[in-house]
Structure 1
């Protein structure tokens, strides 16, 4: 069977439905509260698929990262087929790893400075050169859900935020200073790739969605009030009943898009990632900047309803094919 290793049941419904529709045997292997693992035990037969999320600690699952690392290492060492394994996990929890891999393959990324230890953050901001006058962003290296993302016009604003205790400490102690590059049309694009194939691309509205563009339905509402959240960086609040996401029809048809997707495939191969959603934007001056690689990609229901192919369905087909082939290592 497929062993789906993850820590957030709220995100798993569409994948369970895709597996069940195809009659694909699966189990959810939840790693939320710690536990034990006997390395003398034989891992169960089948395909191990990791959906570990970099934002797991925000749900109180602080042990999930190390627990997932252990399970994936144990399964791989026994020769089990692991999809989005240890190397993918290391990319999921480090934007530095992602950006470095993108740069290696000639993909343009935002200008970025890595700050290890928040005590160095203000010093780095004061040394930041801002030729455009657009300011800069801070973001957590281990991100997800827009963690730690905030925009500052200059270092004095950051100093005031630090003095007020307004910055949450990153879980790994690493913050990125990054150029602020506004999307020319108020949207970003997320490219969904499964098993090396472009499934489809999604437009996401940054005017109403800001920096927190999680496509899962569970991300859209405040868990306490049930009302639409105002994400950080949004210019206008989300409109009830109006989706932030739409299908980016025809993405990949233009030569520059096809070339970029080809480079993305190389990056994913380098990082051992088989399933990903990669985010990019086009700036007013014509640059195309790629800034995020999501290895536990979620899919939006409104987009799924009109897309030519289902994202969870593509994943189920990919895992099912591996299972049918005997799941070679």
Structure 2
């Protein structure tokens, strides 16, 4: 019997999906790719394959999980298997440089960004950027880890020479203009099957690490959620969200073969939208969903079930 194969390296982030699959009676198997062998002489099993490999895998001691996943996806695609969030999606997940160039090519505005390797080059990039405030971030990160805000070149220089400097896993540091918003929040738009599901308003007053997963809220001290956010919810689903940018996002996702994703944007003081992150292994916040009565993983499970049915008809 054909089944859904879930490619991942983080069980905490995948349990919410498997619970929904079991609830709907959808057959599945997990492919935990922290290590393994890809037999290129063999043929993959029949089924639907969904990749939710994360750019932050190295923070969980799964340094080469993305590289292994790329090999597996190449193998699957060469045999014509149905892959959701395949090789192209993975390339965008692992590189913000790839994200920004693809977004700009699609007519979607991103913050002005320079990519640099080397401490001297990071400083030179900040000088060239020539903005009063700027952000540094890792090209390959996830969860917003490594994001720092600077209001002067002197502050950046001090950071670069301090023990606090974080070397990116791929060596590339991005130096990006700081988009000042009238209010301390960003908007995250969720898509399943390439179609818009809902938008979430995310409070950024406590920092930049904005992982919506419940696991982050409880166990990850770098994710500003949980008890400290009781007075004001960190994540709130926006009712009747309607923006022209959604149509552009859907066209972008289709053009780049991305079917499940969260896309984040921020507005500046003029109301202009700047898109700065695409997450192709998106997670959902259970508290925000319960209040709104909308459930991302349930919709995802329904989508996967429908794709399995399509495959059954074709086989």
**What TM-score do the two structures reach when normalised by structure 2?**
0.93
Listed one character per residue, the Cα deviations across residues 158-192 of structure 1 (whole Å, up to 9, x for unaligned) are 11111113221111111111111122221111000
Q: Does 1:142 align with 2:140?
A: yes
Aligned to 1:319: 304
SS in 1 for 2:102: helix
Aligned to 1:184: 182
Superposition deviation, residue 64 in structure 1: 0.2
Q: Does 1:286 align with 2:271?
A: yes
Distance 1:231 1:216 in 2: 9
Contact 1:277 1:295 in 2 (8 A): yes
Superposition deviation, residue 10 in structure 1: 0.7
Unaligned runs of 5+ residues in structure 2 are none
Aligned to 2:228: 238
SS in 1 for 2:49: strand
Of residues 253, 259, 282 in structure 2, which corresponds to 1:297? 282
SS in 2 for 1:326: helix
Contact 1:200 1:307 in 2 (8 A): no
Distance 2:96 2:121 in 1: 18
Listed one character per residue, the Cα deviations across residues 275-310 of structure 1 (whole Å, up to 9, x for unaligned) are 000001112222111110000000000122133532
Distance 1:269 1:71 in 2: 22
Superposition deviation, residue 316 in structure 1: 1.1
SS in 2 for 1:2: strand
Pair 1:77–1:262, CA change in 2 (3 A): same
Superposition deviation, residue 105 in structure 1: 1.8
Distance 1:8 1:19 in 2: 17
Contact 1:205 1:244 in 2 (8 A): yes
Aligned to 1:215: 212
Contact 2:4 2:48 in 1 (8 A): yes
Q: Does 1:129 align with 2:130?
A: yes
Aligned to 1:8: 10
Distance 1:268 1:312 in 2: 19
Superposition deviation, residue 35 in structure 1: 1.8
Listed one character per residue, the Cα deviations across residues 115-143 of structure 1 (whole Å, up to 9, x for unaligned) are 1344411122222211xx3x100000112
Of residues 134, 152, 155 in structure 2, which corresponds to 1:154? 152
Distance 1:158 1:308 in 2: 44
Distance 2:310 2:218 in 1: 41
Unaligned runs of 5+ residues in structure 1 are 224-228
Superposition deviation, residue 196 in structure 1: 2.2
Q: Following superposition of structure 1 onto structure 2, how do residues 1-329 of structure 1 map, counting pairs within 5 Å?
A: 1-32=3-34, 34-130=35-131, 133=132, 135-208=133-206, 210-222=207-219, 229=221, 231=223, 238-240=228-230, 243-252=233-242, 257=243, 259-326=244-311
Query: What's the C-alpha RMSD, in Å, of the aligned pairs?
Result: 1.9
Contact 1:238 1:244 in 2 (8 A): no
Distance 2:229 2:246 in 1: 32
Moved more, 64-73 or 52-61: 64-73
